[in-house]
Amino acid sequence: PVPGALAVNEYSAAQKKAKQNKKGGGFQAMGLSHPVALGINKRGYKIPTPIQRKTIPLILEGRDVVAMAKTGSGKTACFLIPMFERLKQRDPTKGARALIFSPTRELAIQTFKFIRELGKFLDLKVILVLGGDSMDSQFSAIHTCPDVIVGTPGRFLHLCVEMDLKLSSVEYVVFDEADRLFEMGFGEQLNETLSRLPEARQTVMFSATLPKLLVDFAKAGLSDPVLIRLDVES
């Protein structure tokens, strides 16, 4: 690589960024609150990815969204940034206000860590509810009145039933890696969970693929959803 070529690359990257910000395509144009913007900065994100640019404004508006984009396209921040804006700060007087469903323990833990980092400047209380962990530790975790619960669907539902958990405070629900949620066989538990959630809520679904099963689930569980598909990088 010649130094000249590098300079040209850097220049066009800066140009592109300036153009995007001018167009209103940057994080700055999303009108995010200070603690959320700080978290994005801290994590080192300069410009939103295409799926972030398309979904975050819609979710901030309160729309239900089904978003399909390939792995690695930055979907986690798509649902976390609007969640932070919506929950704002810790409220131990209510039950959990946000639920995030992941297909596996590993993914749930990854999302939990993501919240810790990106949400570093908010003081939200987040707990993990995972199959394989002791029920007792989860009973105590629930008693801390978390703002957000990240979990796998089977254990979450089990806990709901065992603890007769009220979900009336839930206002934001995420089905992450939705295609894999179904591949893992959680369909029945997810439908049962839907029936326990309050009607007045915002629901978003993220997936790498969109099989018919998922379309049907979205029709049942989401309200007038906007479908965003990024099959190719744009």
Residue 177 zone, left/alpha/beta (φ > 0; ψ -120 to 50; rest): left
Q: How far apart are CA 12 and CA 198, in angstroms?
A: 48
Least Cβ distance, residue 73 to ligand ADP (angstroms): 4
Question: Which residue, 71 or 93, is less far from ligand ADP as judged by CB?
Answer: 71
Asked if 69 interacts with Mg ion (CB under 5 A), we say: no
Q: Least Å distance between CB 192 and ligand ADP?
A: 26
Complex with Mg ion: residue 79 or 156, whichever CB lies closer: 79
What residue type is 193 in one-letter code? T
Pick from 53, 54, 63, 75 the residue near Mg ion by CB under 5 A. Answer: 75
The string of DSSP codes covering 137-185 is: HHHHHHTT--SEEEE-HHHHHHHHHHHT---TT--EEEETTHHHHHHTT
| Beta carbons within 8 Å of 155's beta carbon, 6+ residues apart | 129, 130, 131, 132, 133, 138
Interface residues with ligand ADP (CB under 6 A) are: 45, 48-49, 52, 71-77
155 binds Mg ion (CB under 5 A): no
- Which lies closer to ligand ADP via its Cβ, residue 145 or residue 230? 230
Q: Name the minimum Å distance from CB 110 to Mg ion.
A: 8
| Interface with Mg ion (CB under 5 A) | 75
